[in-house]
Amino acid sequence: MSEHEEILAFAERLIHQATDIYCSQLQRRFLSSALAAERMSYDQLAEECAYSARYVKQDVAPKLWQLLSQAIGQKVTKANVRLVLSAAIEKQTADYSSVADTAVGVTPAPTLLAAEEDFSAAALPLPTAKHTILLVDDEPDNLRLLSDLLDEQGYEVQQAISGEVALRSIATNTTDLILLDINLPDIDGYSLCQQVKSNPAVCDIPIIFVSASDEPWDKVKAFSAGGSDYISKPFKVVEVLAIL
């Protein structure tokens, strides 16, 4: 494992131990880019990962640096992330060595993994279990509104602005529930729901449709495709929370 990969793995472990949150594939790409000192802007990373630049700048990147700052106990940014993480690794390795030196007999030199495991004992708060909800909508304002609402209620929120992005997220991340818009730019919500329900690995994930249409036929199609419930836009906060 290269030094870059070790630091990336260390950062992901810190985040999970501090928040009980696993980095998404998108967050991992951003973190890897920052650690490698790639001269890629958020706009370039957003284009590479097929996300909107606005969503990346206002949601993905700030949340990543917030998670790392919480895990390490100091402000972490794209500019200082490698320096801060390297210092954290050195400190944990030194602490481990100090403890080992006081033990009786010869103790093997600490590895990076050993230092990471030792970090979880007292330096981090106990993790809080959270349910993960995937929001699938091509309107950034809708994503932001629902994300803020669900964050306040203690849910871990993932976002996708297209069917293709949603399917990638479902395949690579743990998802407890999907809130799915019907009208997506690449694949309609009914078809996406059918694909999820036909996959044995993820077919048990409940799917709630969120649509501007309140026609009975649309609701029939949603339930026929495998949906568990249906919310009409503009949705009410109480209605969303009641269904969850």
In terms of phi and psi (left: phi > 0; alpha: psi -120 to 50; beta: otherwise), the region of 233 is: beta
Dist. CA 225–CA 106, nearest whole Å = 63
Domain shared by 124 and 138, yes or no: no
**How far apart (Å, rounded) are the C-alpha atoms in residues 139 and 141?**
5
169 and 121 belong to one structural domain:
no
Q: List the CATH number of the domain containing 163.
A: 3.40.50.2300
Residues 101, 46 share a domain: yes
Q: What is the pLDDT of residues 126-159, one digit of tens each?
A: 334 468 899 999 888 888 888 887 877 778 889 9
pLDDT (tens digit, 9 = 90+) per residue, 10-31?
888 888 888 888 888 788 888 8
**57 and 143 belong to one structural domain:** no
* Same domain, residue pair 103 and 222: no
The per-residue pLDDT for 112 is: 39
Domain limits at 193?
A: 132-243
One domain for residues 239 and 201? yes
Q: Which of 64, 93, 128 is the last residue of a domain?
A: 128
152/118 same-domain check: no
pLDDT in the model for residue 100: 54
Same-domain status, 116 and 167: no
In this prediction the pTM is 0.48
| Same domain for 116 and 7 | yes
Whether residues 183 and 118 fall in one domain = no
CB atoms within 10 A of CB 214: 11
Last residue of a domain, one of 128, 147, 177: 128
